[in-house]
Amino acid sequence: MSDLDATTPRIFLVRHGETEWTKNGRYTGTTDLELTHTGIAQVKGTASYLVGSGKLIDPARIARIWVSPRKRALQTLGLLFNNSSTEPGTYNAVITEDIAEWNYGDYEGLLVGEIRAGRKERGLDGHVEWDIWRDGCEGGESAQQVTERLDRLISEIREIQEPCMNGEGSADVVLVAHGHILRAFVKRWLKYPLDNQLPLMFSPGAIGILSYRNHDLDEPGFYLGMALPLQE
């Protein structure tokens, strides 16, 4: 049985488009930035190719959308479905902190080099450099706290998709969120701890895809690549 059978429910991960802090690498958690002009163009470009009737993300197949409450994510959601024949409000979109960006606490707005230098000045890390996946954020979330909220969301997704593992109805879901939290979601989907050394990259405005191998709820996987639907 093919792992690439598109009747198996899928999870589409959508990273918001570029912001001013995305460009310079500043940690952006709760700060409510809007998309830049480039960020808007990124999402529109992705949507024009991949979202719409008969395309990779087909509104007719979506059971649920979860979106971060930050402006950049909500703006991305609106742009993503603008080219669709179905209005975003007609399907079940849930705004939730469960898929909000990692709360960076004291590190909000800083560059990774600034975070590591500050921690060393305070004698926190010794010979081992700070790693968010292991150490979390002072004044913000720990890896365990992020794990707990993502596992809660994964349980909800599995409840929706379990009855539809062989194409029995519309069961695709969409998550519209942020770079760190979506990479964390991939790790938890694959049942890895967040400090697992799984290097992942996720460009602004890009879409990733998760699903299940062999139509089996107990075999979560991710697509290294997926052929796009044929266009009539």
pTM of the model: 0.92
Q: Give the residue ranges of DSSP H helices in 8-87.
A: 20-24, 37-50, 71-80
How far is Cα of residue 231 from the mean position of the Cα atoms in its chain? Answer: 27
* 101 flagged as catalytic: yes
For the chain, the average pLDDT equals 91
pLDDT level of residue 6 (50, 70, 90 thresholds): low
Helices (H) and strands (E) in the chain, counts: 7, 6
Q: Show binding-site residues for substrate.
A: 28-29, 72, 101-104
Mean pLDDT on 146-163: 97
Q: What is the pLDDT of residues 76-94, one digit of tens each?
A: 999 998 754 444 444 568 9
Query: What does the pLDDT read at residue 86?
Result: 45
What is the domain partition of the chain in residue ranges? 11-222
pLDDT band, residue 95 (cuts 50/70/90) = very high
Over the range 213-229, which residues count as b (16 or more CB within 10 Å of their CB) and which as e? eebeeeebbeeeeeeee
Residue numbering of the annotated binding site: 28-29, 72, 101-104
Band (7; pLDDT cuts 50, 70, 90): confident
Higher pLDDT, 126 or 15: 15
pLDDT band at 231 (very low <50, low <70, confident <90, very high): low
Phi, psi (deg, nearest 5) at residue 62: -85, 125
Q: Which of the residues 16, 178, 180, 215 is marked catalytic?
A: 16
CATH architecture of structural domain 11-222: 3-Layer(aba) Sandwich (3.40)
Torsion sign over Cα 132, 134, 137, 138: negative
Tell me which range, 50-59, 178-187, 221-230, is most confidently predicted by mean pLDDT.
Answer: 178-187
At 112-140, the pLDDT tens digits run 999 999 999 999 998 899 999 999 999 99
The residue annotated as part of the active site, out of 18, 101, 141, 215, is 101
16 carries an active-site annotation:
yes
pLDDT, residue 89, reads 47
Contacts of 162 (CB under 8 A, 6+ apart): 217
pLDDT tens string 220-229: 999 888 777 7
Please state, in angstroms and rounded to a whole number, the distance separating the CA atoms of residues 155 and 133.
Answer: 22
Residue 5 has pLDDT above 90, yes or no: no
Residue 4 has pLDDT above 70, yes or no: no
Query: Using CA atoms, how far apart are residues 217 and 67, in angstroms rounded to an integer?
Result: 23
CB–CB of 132/102 below 8 Å?
yes
- State the DSSP code for 140: S
Three-class DSSP labels, 105-137 = HHHCCCCHHHHHHHHHHCCCCCCCCCCHHHHCC
Please say if the pLDDT value at position 185 is more than 80. yes
- Compute the average pLDDT of residues 140-157: 98
